[in-house]
């Protein structure tokens, strides 16, 4: 049975006029959650977030309350909050809609987090390409200053909070939290070795929490409805609702706010969501959580799109980017596109990733063009294993998870679609000829 | 005699911008403003010329090598003067499923450039995912975003550029 279609929390007002303004946000009860939080002691605010089972929406799904509790209470150093709005994982396009259509929801989350953590300075880091989202977000920050939400006093309380927007300049790696901190410090985005974790040694060497845009936009709802009710919307270990980005070969791509019980089949075929594939095509493969998440086969799509549910399949819910590939799509060509991206975006710091990612790309091109032999397939597998073995996820030989992100697609495509790779080698050409993308729509 | 980097008006604008940026960071962390400072430079000059990098470094109390390191790491800073319009076409998976490879081929033909090449007017390149996977295919011209592109939309867009 399909999971029920839920009342959206985050995306509810995306279609309404002037939804991004402070006026509109206040009219629908905006900043009431902040008022409630400001009446509580900071430690109690963190407890409420723990109770809500809110998990980070950036990719790793780490429990938000727990992350907040890692910040040392007795540190003499200033503490910082950094918002990760570097949304760049292929298949992911949800945070930009929050920034464009309801930025105050995120700003309210920032203010609540700042109060809970004792933070007086927050940096909102947006990817450089987000010009329009940055304009909307900056306008909202300006409104919040004028309305006494940011500044010397937060809603009249003797608590100072400043919030600055910073734009990146085109580097996927800066979505990795320590690379983001390096970038905020004005450097190239080279991830840091962990530990120490940012909660202890972060921005400018000070305790820092890095949270995703959607995570912070979820925080006000925890306080507006109460953590128990928020937790109940989800599963045992993942509270609330979540934004899922549907793209690829479907009739209705887009961002949908789903219950944590919603399955991939619900999302792809449901009336409220994707409404199936065009021209009677069939699903061949689905990437469940941004291009780094191991690919799934059609028989695995009855799974809920939730952090825990994907673990037994050796995959991950990641950033919520669901990419559907239909039966006329070439898996080698698809993987080549993904591999090429990681090769382009490797920061160059660790040898396995810097050398391995372009090597993967070259091998895949060779296979796609029918120039490869079976040894190349083994070599591809070996190169991926040298960057990060699989399964399980998370054994990477590199400082950050970009190495894993680059190797996981290769491993999982080879595991589930090996026959198609072999067909390229045996036929000495792409079985899809010059139509590797299925040819549909405007550009066919 | 060397031509100055900025006109007096540009200089004023740049100075004001740097002063504002520096107020966002701790006093002993001026170099943290590197990314936005380079953005300010590029907004005025259209690219990051060497003497501009040197000026940013000086204002931020750091070395010009550091400024160059950052400017060369991030793809959005131009270390060479680009054409009037930088056209960034996404060819990642979701966009390719909606025909991005063909759209790029069409653009290459239309602009008379291969991806990665530039002329006086255009700098055409493939780019990383632009977070428009649900409204594919997409591209950016300079920093303006265009989505759900059809041939007709793309033609109109390119043809009406001033």
Question: Quick one: tokens of A87?
Answer: 């949304």
pLDDT value of residue A221: 97
Question: Quick one: tokens of A426?
Answer: 């045996």
Asked whether the beta carbons of B81 and B47 are under 8 A apart, the reply is: yes
Asked whether the beta carbons of A130 and B39 are under 8 A apart, the reply is: no
| Residue-level pLDDT, tens digit, chain A, 444 residues | 577 788 999 999 999 999 999 999 999 999 999 999 999 999 999 999 999 999 999 988 899 999 999 999 889 999 999 999 999 999 999 999 999 999 999 999 999 999 999 999 999 999 999 999 999 999 999 999 999 999 999 999 999 999 999 999 999 999 999 999 999 999 999 999 999 999 999 999 999 999 999 999 999 999 999 999 999 999 888 999 999 999 999 999 999 999 989 999 999 999 999 999 998 899 999 999 999 999 999 999 999 998 889 999 999 999 999 999 999 999 999 999 999 999 999 999 999 999 999 999 999 999 999 999 999 999 999 999 999 999 999 899 999 999 999 999 999 999 999 999 999 999 999 999 999 998 888 898
Cα(A162)–Cα(A174) distance, integer angstroms: 22
Q: Which of residues 47-86 of B touch A (CB under 8 A)?
A: 60, 62, 66, 69-70, 73-77
Instruction: Please identify which residue in the block is written with the tokens 């740049």.
Output: B14
Question: Quick one: tokens of B131?
Answer: 């977070």
Interface check for B120 against chain A (CB to CB < 8 A): the answer is no
Interface check for A433 against chain B (CB to CB < 8 A): the answer is no
Task: Average the pLDDT over B12-31 and give the result.
Answer: 98
pLDDT value of residue B9: 97
pLDDT value of residue A59: 86
Q: What is the pTM of this model?
A: 0.96
Interface check for A82 against chain B (CB to CB < 8 A): the answer is no
Interface check for B35 against chain A (CB to CB < 8 A): the answer is yes
Task: Average the pLDDT over B74-101 and give the result.
Answer: 95
Q: Does position B54 have pLDDT exceeding 90, yes or no?
A: yes
**Distance from B114 to chain A by nearest Cα, in Å?**
18
pLDDT value of residue A213: 98
Contacts with B94 from chain A: Cβ below 8 Å = 90-91, 247-248, 253, 323
From the list A127, A186, A253, the residue facing B31 with the nearest CB is A186
Decide if B133 and A323 are in contact by the 8 Å CB cutoff: yes
Q: Within 10 A of B16 (CB to CB), how many other CB atoms are there?
A: 11
Question: Quick one: tokens of A112?
Answer: 């609540």
pLDDT value of residue A6: 87
With H, G, I as helix, E, B as strand and everything else as coil, classify residue B157.
helix
pLDDT value of residue A1: 58
Task: Average the pLDDT over B57-86 and give the result.
Answer: 96
Q: ipTM value of the model?
A: 0.96
Q: Does position B106 have pLDDT exceeding 90, yes or no?
A: yes
From the list B24, B73, B91, the residue facing A189 with the nearest CB is B73
Paired strand residues for B135: none
From the list A78, A132, A166, the residue facing B35 with the nearest CB is A166
Torsional sign, CA B89, B92, B95, B97: positive
The mean pLDDT of chain B is 96
From the list A247, A345, A441, the residue facing B94 with the nearest CB is A247
């Amino acid at each position: 049975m399909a999971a029920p279609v839920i009342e959206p929390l985050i995306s509810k007002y995306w279609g309404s006029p002037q939804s991004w303004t402070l006026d509109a946000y206040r009219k629908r009860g905006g900043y009431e959650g902040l008022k409630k939080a400001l009446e509580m002691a900071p430690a109690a605010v963190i407890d409420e977030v723990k109770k809500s089972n809110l998990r980070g929406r950036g990719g790793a799904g780490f429990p938000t309350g727990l992350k907040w509790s890692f910040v040392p209470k007795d540190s003499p150093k200033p503490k910082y909050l950094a918002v990760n709005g570097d949304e760049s994982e292929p298949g992911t396009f949800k945070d930009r809609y929050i920034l464009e259509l309801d930025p105050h929801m995120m700003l309210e989350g920032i203010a609540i987090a700042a109060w809970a953590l004792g933070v007086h300075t927050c940096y909102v880091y947006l990817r450089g390409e987000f010009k329009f989202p940055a304009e909307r977000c900056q306008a909202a920050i300006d409104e919040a200053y004028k309305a006494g939400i940011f500044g010397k006093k937060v809603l009249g309380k003797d608590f100072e909070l400043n919030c600055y927007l910073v734009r990146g300049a085109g580097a996927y790696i800066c979505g990795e939290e320590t690379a983001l901190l390096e970038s905020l410090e004005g450097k190239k985005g080279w991830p840091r070795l962990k530990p120490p974790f940012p909660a202890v040694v972060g921005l400018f060497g000070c305790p820092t929490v890095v949270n995703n845009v959607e995570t912070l936009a979820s925080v006000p709802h925890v306080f507006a409805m109460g953590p128990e009710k928020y937790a109940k919307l989800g599963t045992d270990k993942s509270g609330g609702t979540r934004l899922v980005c549907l793209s690829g070969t479907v009739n209705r791509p887009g961002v949908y706010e789903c219950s944590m019980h919603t399955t991939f089949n619900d999302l792809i075929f449901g009336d409220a969501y994707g409404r199936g594939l065009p021209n009677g095509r069939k699903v061949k493969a689905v990437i469940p959580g941004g291009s780094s998440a191991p690919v799934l086969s059609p028989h695995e799509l009855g799974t809920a799109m939730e952090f825990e549910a994907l673990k037994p399949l050796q995959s991950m819910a990641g950033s919520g980017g669901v990419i559907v590939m239909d039966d006329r799509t070439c898996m080698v060509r698809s993987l080549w596109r993904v591999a090429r991206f990681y090769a382009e975006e490797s920061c160059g710091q660790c040898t396995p990733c810097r050398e391995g990612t372009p090597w993967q790309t070259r091998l895949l091109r060779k296979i796609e063009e029918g120039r490869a032999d079976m040894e190349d397939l083994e070599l591809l597998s070996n190169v991926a294993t040298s960057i990060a073995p699989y399964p399980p996820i998370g054994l990477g030989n590199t400082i950050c998870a970009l190495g894993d992100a680059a190797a996981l697609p290769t491993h999982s495509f080879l595991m589930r679609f090996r026959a198609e790779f072999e067909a390229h080698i045996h036929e000495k050409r792409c079985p899809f000829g010059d139509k590797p993308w299925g040819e549909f729509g405007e550009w066919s | 005699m060397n031509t100055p980097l900025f006109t007096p008006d540009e200089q004023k604008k740049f100075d004001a911008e740097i002063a504002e940026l520096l107020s966002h960071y701790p006093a002993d962390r001026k170099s943290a403003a590197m990314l936005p400072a380079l953005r300010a430079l590029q907004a005025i000059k259209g690219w990051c010329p060497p003497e501009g990098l040197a000026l940013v470094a000086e204002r931020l109390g750091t070395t010009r090598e550091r400024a160059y390191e950052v400017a060369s790491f991030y793809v959005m800073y131009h270390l060479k003067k680009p054409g009037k319009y930088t056209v960034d076409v996404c060819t990642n998976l979701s966009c390719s499923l909606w025909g991005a490879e063909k759209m790029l081929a069409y653009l290459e033909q239309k602009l008379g450039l291969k991806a990665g090449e530039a002329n006086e007017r255009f700098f055409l390149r493939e780019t990383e995912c632009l977070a428009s996977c649900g409204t594919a295919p997409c591209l950016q011209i300079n920093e303006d975003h265009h989505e759900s592109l059809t041939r007709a939309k793309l033609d109109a867009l390119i043809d009406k550029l001033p």
